[in-house]
Amino acid sequence: MYGLVNKAIRDMVCEKFGEDTWETIRQKAEVEVDTFIGMEAYPDDITHRLVKAASEVLAMPPPEILKAFGEYWVIYTAEEGYGEMMDMAGDNLPDFLQNLDNLHARVGVSFPQLKPPSFECTDVAEESMNLHYRSSRQGLAPMVFGLVGGLGKRFNVEVDITQLRSREEGAEHDEFSIKYKPE
């Protein structure tokens, strides 16, 4: 994963729990890197070790860490210079979710080693849809809950998300039911 992801994990931990907690997590994860470079690719294992260590240090299950990170990621990337690009992906939740693959394609111009997940929307109705999540990476589906929740805040809509199918339980990909309505 790119350093931007690990940098966001660091910033989230420091913002919510302080620098000392980050240092404890970094050491527990046996991550030698002190400062992540946003546009440099790092082994996925570093990110997985950071999540595992954060889970132990913060006494939160890994899915909760990933969910919190997903929500944080939406705000973080907008503030890190990707807000305008995000604005172009849609001005409401359903449009944005339907344009996620296009957004990742645009981001891929700056990040040539990017291996983004793929998102497909089906059964799109006025206040609901199903979101299909496919990724070459295992174990990140809980992050989708946070991402959709963060996008709900971005677009000022109340969001209810339920996982319908799980790759962890043998499905070909993860599928979520999303219900949304303006707040």
Cα distance between residue 183 and residue 157, in whole Å: 5
Provide the domain limits for residue 101.
90-182
Q: What are phi and psi of 175, to 5 degrees?
A: -135, 140
Residue 52 domain flag: yes
- Same domain flag for 13 and 53: yes
Q: How many other β-carbons are positioned within 10 Å of the β-carbon of residue 108?
A: 13
- Same domain flag for 27 and 104: no
Average pLDDT of the segment spanning 98-111: 85
- Same domain flag for 107 and 147: yes
- Same domain flag for 178 and 117: yes
- Same domain flag for 46 and 107: no
- Same domain flag for 110 and 174: yes
- Select from 43, 60, 77 the last residue of a domain: 60
CATH code of residue 115 = 3.90.1520.10
Average pLDDT of the segment spanning 141-150: 96
- Same domain flag for 122 and 169: yes
- Same domain flag for 98 and 176: yes
pTM, two decimals, is 0.89
Alpha-helical runs (H) found in the chain: 3-17, 19-28, 44-58, 62-77, 83-88, 93-98, 100-110, 141-154
Average pLDDT of the segment spanning 164-173: 95
- Same domain flag for 40 and 123: no
Among the listed residues 55, 67, 65, the one whose alpha carbon sits nearest the alpha carbon of residue 149: 67
The confidence score (pLDDT) of residue 39 equals: 85
pLDDT tens, position by position, 35-72: 999 888 899 999 999 999 999 999 999 999 999 999 99
